[in-house]
Amino acid sequence: MSSTKFILGLFDDPDDMMHGIEKLQKNSVPIYDVYSPMPIHGIEAKLGVKESRLGYAAFCFGLLGGSVIFSIVYYTLVHDWPMNIGGKPTFPMPVFVPFTFEWTILWTAFGMTLTFFAATHLFPGRAPRVMDLRATDDRFVIAIDAKGNVPHDDITNLLKEAGAVEIKHNTRKYVSYDE
Amino acid sequence: MASHSESILREPLITGKNITYAQITNEVLAPVENKPNKAWWIGFVVAVLGALLWVVSISLTFWYGLGEWGLNKTVGWAWDITGFVWWVGIGHAGTLISAVLLLFRQNWRNSINRSAEAMTIFAVICAATYIVAHMGRPWLAYFTLPLPNQYGSLWVNWNSALMMDVFAISTYFSVSLVFWYTGLLPDIASIRDRAKGLRRRIYSVLSFGWTGSVKTWQRFETVSLILAGISTPLVLSVHTIVSFDFATSLEPGWHTTIFPPYFVAGAIFSGFAMVQTLLLITRKVLGLENYITMFHIESMNKIITLTGSIVGVAYLTEFFIAWYSGVEYEQYAFINRATGPYWWAYWSMMSCNVISPQLFWSKKLRTSIPFSWFLSIIVNIGMWFERFVIIVTSLHRDYIPSSWVMFYPSWVDVGVFIGSIGVFFTLFLLFIRFLPSVAMAEVKLLLKTSSEQAKKKLIDSGKLDKEQVESYVNQLKIYDSVDITDYETSK
């Protein structure tokens, strides 16, 4: 039994890597994940990754923020202590606009970004689950779970044919940052 | 779809031959991974001395009160608000570049957005110090929060434009910070994976455990796009609300409906000037000529000319409306600005902001780096004068001639202002030392489509229209980072 846990195909060109994904899929090899130093457009469709729903979260947070500040201004300005300033109305709609607008944006931004961090498990101090250190520099990495995907040499050959510059058989899943 | 090729008619956004992804990482991270050079240290020492002057001046202000400033009974707002509006204005270009240009798919923003956003954040920090300082009793700053009545006699005054300002500036600062830091995560991860020991640990914490997996990038792009979408109206709202501080008053010279668009245009104008001031030096000192090219410089100069012209039209409109309104106080306020004792401030503003940017109609001048830098300084000065003119000349002669005065700044006024520039540069220099000053991931995205080498390959394939290639090569002549002889032989 080989001790290989993950097979990594390292590409130096995003187009070659896309080609590699196609090749693997044609041979029914499941892809664990792909790591790249920049976003690659069109890869989601190829890997069947569902569209992000963060937009809905953003909308809800915006609505909430706007409602919260509107309620605060309404309570303090109109309900709790209405003031008569030269006979002007105590419920001046234009005054509500800047506050409601600003907090809608504030809550959208923070709500959405924090949802993104939570969903992607990003937070300060999180141990980076990186499989190859060059994936944040100049390598486009396809990771394949070695378990069940045998023989490994076939996968190696597939990746090589697609133009991988390096193929790694890693015995541990993630790079250790403690060395 | 990294493989599609871009029209040859578009200027390249990355110049140089045989640039690889690794080279982009190496070049951008060079100042972060190596010891700083002499130029950085000289700049840093000067900036820290400036920041120390700020500490001294602001401490005196807090200890003895606003009496340390040159304010008097008639002119109750002067250099503090001038400085505040100046810094907020400068703080507009970063978000404009990263948000508005993203929505308009202007890819040239990719290499300048990071440092422009950083500049925004530092400029807004400087602006915020003025808000706190001019409160007089800054330890009561919490009075601006909607706290219950036990803290004072009433709730906060929501009818006041100053209250709107608190919300606008705080929202702008925090949203810009989120936008900037989220964008930094992949680049911090790049530093982390190349570093060793303690540095790796620190950058690991800062990177939030970024991996660059498919799902992460997909969500990252959604977040960036939505943040850009909401930051665009936000950036317009901020200076609109800053202008309300003046426009909602009944002061002649301030009480005008043109203020919001005029302030926004002025903010973009001064913001781009400051980006130009910083980047022309940064690109040289850090050797980023291939990423921040002549095309970027020229594009920014064009925006400076456009917004400078909008500001010019606004000045003239204000003058016309003052006459057309038939209100003699309003008319006097403007006549006094142009011909009164502060005529020199008014005409400095006019010549720096309206006349000098028109020189950029000349292609030779707008593609000259020394001239662009010189003019960006002129615009910065002009925009400071604009705020000074609006604030001080409107106040210094009020309705009672017996209270007419001039404003003379104390040395503490000057110290707070010069010091805030020191604070700004200290922060900016620390930024370029410890964080990547160019968004690497976004620049890498352009390498296969919009780079000079990709276009060269297209030309060499010989399938392109001769006329189009010729006009492309002509465009390249202005680039200081392109070796034009490569193209002469291949023709």
Which residue of B167, B175, B441 is in closest CB contact with A99?
Answer: B167
Count interface pairs A-B at CB distance under 8 A. Answer: 196
A15 in contact with chain B, both atoms CB, cutoff 8 A: yes
d(CA B170, CA B181): 16
Mean residue pLDDT across chain A: 89
Question: Candidates 1.10.3470, 3.90.1570, 3.30.70, 2.60.120; correct CATH number of A6-51+129-170?
Answer: 3.30.70
Residue B2: pLDDT over 50: no
Q: Where are the domains of chain A?
A: 6-51+129-170, 54-120
Residue B273: pLDDT over 70: yes
Average pLDDT, integer, range B104-110 = 86
Residues of B in contact with A92 (CB under 8 A): 159
Say yes or no for a CB contact (<8 Å) between A136 and B189: yes
A38 in contact with chain B, both atoms CB, cutoff 8 A: yes
pLDDT per position as a tens digit, B122-168: 999 999 888 888 888 888 888 888 877 676 667 888 888 989 999 99
Residue B417: pLDDT over 90: yes
pLDDT per position as a tens digit, B289-311: 889 989 999 999 999 999 999 99
Residue B9: pLDDT over 90: no
Residue B351: CA atoms inside 13 Å, Cβ hemisphere, count?
6
Average pLDDT, integer, range B242-270 = 91
A132: nearest Cα among A9, A2, A3: A9
Question: Which of A85, A102, A142, A166 should be substituted to probe chain B, the one whose Cβ sees the most B Cβ atoms within 10 Å?
Answer: A102
Average pLDDT, integer, range B454-467 = 83
B365: nearest Cα among B13, B475, B357: B357
Contact map slice: B 191-230 vs A, CB within 8 A:
192-194, 200-201, 204-223, 226-227, 230
- B146, with CB counted inside 10 A (0-12, 13-18, 19+), is middle
Give the position of tokens 């937070």. A123
Tell me the whole-structure pTM to 2 decimals. 0.91
Question: Which of B117, B144, B216, B220 should be substituted to probe chain A, the one whose Cβ sees the most A Cβ atoms within 10 Å?
Answer: B216
A78 in contact with chain B, both atoms CB, cutoff 8 A: no
| Closest chain A residue by Cα to residue B22 | A138
Residues of A in contact with B20 (CB under 8 A): 12, 138
Q: Identify the pLDDT of residue B316.
A: 93
Q: What angle do the packed helices B369-388 and B343-350 form, to 10 degrees?
A: 140
Say yes or no for a CB contact (<8 Å) between B218 and A49: yes
Rg of chain B (C-alpha set): 24
Residues of B in contact with A81 (CB under 8 A): 149, 154-155
B247: nearest Cα among B262, B234, B260: B260
| Closest chain B residue by Cα to residue A17 | B2
How many angstroms away from the CA of B446 is the closest CA of chain A?
10
Say yes or no for a CB contact (<8 Å) between A39 and B241: no
Residue B491: pLDDT over 70: no
Which residue of B211, B217, B448 is in closest CB contact with A129?
Answer: B211
d(CA B334, CA B341): 12
Average pLDDT, integer, range B27-36 = 89
Contact map slice: A 146-175 vs B, CB within 8 A:
none
Residue B4: which pLDDT band, with cuts at 50, 70 and 90? low
3-class secondary-structure state, position A1:
coil
Percent residues over pLDDT 90 in chain B: 57
pLDDT per position as a tens digit, B314-352: 999 999 999 999 999 999 999 999 999 999 999 999 999
Residue B1: pLDDT over 50: no
Q: Identify the pLDDT of residue B139.
A: 87
Say yes or no for a CB contact (<8 Å) between A122 and B156: no
How many angstroms away from the CA of A52 is the closest CA of chain B?
6
d(CA A114, CA A126): 15
Say yes or no for a CB contact (<8 Å) between A102 and B167: yes
Residue B488: pLDDT over 80: no
Which residue of B2, B158, B215 is in closest CB contact with A40?
Answer: B2
Say yes or no for a CB contact (<8 Å) between A80 and B226: no
CA distance between the termini of chain B? 30
d(CA B403, CA B242): 28
Mean residue pLDDT across chain B: 89
Residue B6: pLDDT over 90: no
The residues facing A8 across adjacent strands are A143, A168
B350 in contact with chain A, both atoms CB, cutoff 8 A: no
Q: Identify the pLDDT of residue A171.
A: 85
> Domains in chain B, start-ordered, CATH in brackets?
1-19+448-491 (no CATH), 25-446 (1.20.1630.10)
Averages of pLDDT over each 10 residues, chain A, 179 residues: 83 89 88 91 88 93 96 90 83 92 96 94 90 89 84 85 86 79
Residue B41: pLDDT over 90: yes
Q: Does the complex come out with an ipTM higher than 0.85?
A: yes
Say yes or no for a CB contact (<8 Å) between B212 and A110: no
- The dihedral over CA atoms of B298, B301, B302, B307, expressed in degrees to the nearest 10, equals 160
pLDDT per position as a tens digit, B202-229: 999 999 999 999 999 999 999 999 999 9
Q: Identify the pLDDT of residue A169.
A: 86
Give the position of tokens 């923070």. A110
